């Protein structure tokens, strides 16, 4: 045979496995076997550093000598990797006579068994790849599968019912500013495994199309003037599902701890004894201005920026203007509704009427649009263009850099 004809996954926990050879190849095989909780015995007159370390840690047993007839007797599996053809032949022949599967490292074409390239994912997912006798092809395919497992691109969610002795975990996942590609690898991986997704209006909703059909999706999408779920109701939902033993992803726009009420949800989970994890996201406060070609800091222009929520009125905005130097960039979230009042408050607090202002709507989405003006005229410009939320407002001289940098995400006019 020149390639495997039957694939099989073995449970070697507690079972005796013999590895003949003391070099790096034998070390790789032995390390993998130890990870599988096999009882590994090494037969070799000398050991490489990696195998010597396993012996020192008492993770394998070492017979410090050459191979002898009878060494494989009683083993469940044998690996031979001595580099000496005659010895490997003898080991393979003895294993064959004893009806023990033997993996040869020297010549796959005469081996009775093969070790595939293995990719391991979360929750016990294991993918074994055979390249038809081509180890490099096996490794290349394995690496591609491993990358897809790591990023959550494969449908690896468990479909059999799981018995839990306690609650599931709530994962507070920051989805970034809108583009699915800006969701973190950790966030995608959790979405691939979760049982429930509780999603915001501003979260990257494109990822929902990739979920398994039996994942429960709860839309708590808050819109201006209309709240489908109150924050207390959201807290109750994520806690209730977790207490039922389900894993929950609370998918938010931006970062869960930047004006995202992630702290409130984490406290609710702690109070109920529910495990909680926070997965940071790319905050729109910085990334959305960047999409429009506006860095919130720039050498010689602004060395700091202040983030302010306009949700609670203009007083926090006026306070920020008074507390920070005129060169500090102000970034306003949820600032469209009170834009006119905010601009007036900033001028009254000492900012120049000609201070540049930019409003970036729907950053990092196909509908991105930027309106540029000054504190004196931005409200009129916004009214004339019909500017709407979601949008980020940037106040400061860094806005002028947009003319030289241009937008980094396609914009509509």
* Active site amino acids: 200, 222
Give the tokens for residue 163: 């018995």
Q: Comparing C-alpha atoms, which of 353, 335, 336 is closest to residue 344?
A: 353
Q: Residue for token digits 């977790």?
A: 242
Q: Rounded CA gap, 196 and 315, in Å?
A: 39
Q: Comparing C-alpha atoms, which of 283, 291, 282, 308 is closest to residue 402?
A: 291
Q: Rounded CA gap, 169 and 242, in Å?
A: 6
Q: Comparing C-alpha atoms, which of 218, 352, 372, 383 is closest to residue 294?
A: 372
Beta bridge partners of 120: 126
Beta bridge partners of 216: 196
């Amino acid at each position: 045979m020149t390639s495997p004809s039957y694939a099989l996954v073995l449970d070697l926990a507690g079972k005796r496995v013999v590895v003949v050879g003391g070099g790096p190849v034998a070390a790789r095989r032995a390390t993998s076997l130890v990870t599988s909780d096999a009882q590994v015995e090494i037969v070799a007159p000398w050991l490489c550093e990696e195998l010597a370390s396993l012996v020192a840690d008492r993770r394998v047993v070492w017979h410090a000598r050459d191979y002898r007839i009878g060494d494989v007797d009683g083993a469940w599996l044998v690996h031979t990797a001595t580099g000496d053809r005659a010895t490997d032949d003898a080991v393979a022949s003895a294993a064959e006579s004893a009806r023990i599967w033997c993996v040869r490292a020297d010549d796959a074409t005469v081996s009775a068994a093969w070790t595939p390239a293995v990719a391991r994912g979360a929750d016990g997912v294991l993918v074994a790849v055979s390249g038809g006798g081509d180890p490099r092809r096996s490794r290349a395919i394995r690496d591609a599968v491993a990358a897809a497992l790591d990023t959550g691109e494969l449908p690896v969610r468990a479909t059999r019912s799981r018995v839990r002795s306690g609650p599931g975990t709530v994962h507070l996942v920051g989805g970034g500013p809108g583009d699915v590609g800006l969701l973190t690898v950790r966030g995608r991986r959790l979405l691939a495994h979760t049982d429930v997704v509780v999603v915001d209006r501003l979260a990257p909703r494109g990822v929902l199309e990739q979920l398994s059909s039996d994942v429960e999706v709860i839309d708590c999408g808050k819109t201006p003037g209309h709240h489908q779920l109150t924050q207390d109701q959201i807290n109750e939902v994520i806690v209730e599902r977790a207490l039922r033993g389900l894993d929950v992803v609370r998918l938010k726009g931006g970062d869960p701890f930047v004006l995202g009420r992630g702290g409130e949800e984490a406290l609710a989970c702690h109070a109920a004894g529910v495990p909680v994890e926070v997965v940071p996201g790319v905050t729109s406060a910085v990334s959305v201005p960047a999409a429009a070609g506006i860095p919130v800091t720039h050498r010689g222009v602004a060395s700091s920026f202040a983030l302010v929520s306009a949700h609670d009125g203009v007083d926090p905005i006026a306070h920020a203007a008074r507390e920070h130097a005129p060169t500090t960039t102000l970034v306003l979230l949820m600032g469209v509704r009170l834009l006119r009042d905010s601009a007036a408050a900033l001028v009254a607090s000492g900012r120049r009427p000609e201070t540049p202002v930019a409003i970036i709507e729907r950053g990092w989405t196909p509908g991105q649009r930027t309106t540029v003006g000054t504190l004196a005229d931005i409200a009129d410009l916004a009214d004339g263009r019909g500017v709407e939320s979601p949008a980020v407002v940037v106040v400061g001289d860094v806005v002028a850099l947009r003319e030289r940098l241009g937008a980094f995400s396609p914009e509509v006019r």
